Every structure is written in structure tokens, then in C-alpha cells.
Amino acid sequence: MAEVKKENWFVRTWGKVCKYFRELRSELKKVVWPTPKQVLNNTLIVGGCCGVIGAFIWLFDFVAGAGITGLINLFN
């Protein structure tokens, strides 16, 4: 009975890498890319939300800091 020789590790790995990139290319052809107008709109929405949340955090920090300073001054 003849032994079946296993392929070289490099040959197997190279085949897997090639298969990965073929499938990647195939999947990227299916992607519906956003228009520049959609990208700008989404960027402005994310920036606006970050600004609003940042303002709320800043306001809370300012009020909490003033409250703690007031308490410290009250007990001194």
C-alpha cells in the first residue's frame, strides 16, 4: 500500500492565502459603497452627537466641581 505524501506546509498555506484573497475580492464586489453626500451627512451627525455629549459631560463636570468646592468651603 502506497503512502499518500502530505503537501508541503508552504504550499498548503499559500493555497489558503490565495483562497482568502479570492473570496475577499468576491465579497468586496457585493458591497454597496455610500455616496460622498451620505458620508458627509453621517460624519456631521456623528460629530454633532459627540459635541452634544461632550457638552453634557463638561456641564456635569462643571456643576459637580462647583458643588464639591462649595461643600469644602462650607466645612472650612
pLDDT digits (tens, 9 = 90+) for 26-71: 999 999 999 999 999 999 999 999 999 999 999 999 999 999 999 9
Predicted local confidence at residue 8, as pLDDT:
84
What is the C-alpha separation between 45 and 39, in angstroms, rounded?
Answer: 10
Residue 17 has pLDDT above 90, yes or no: yes
pTM (two decimals): 0.59
Helix or strand holding residue 48 (H, E) = helix 36-75
Q: What is the DSSP letter of 44?
A: H
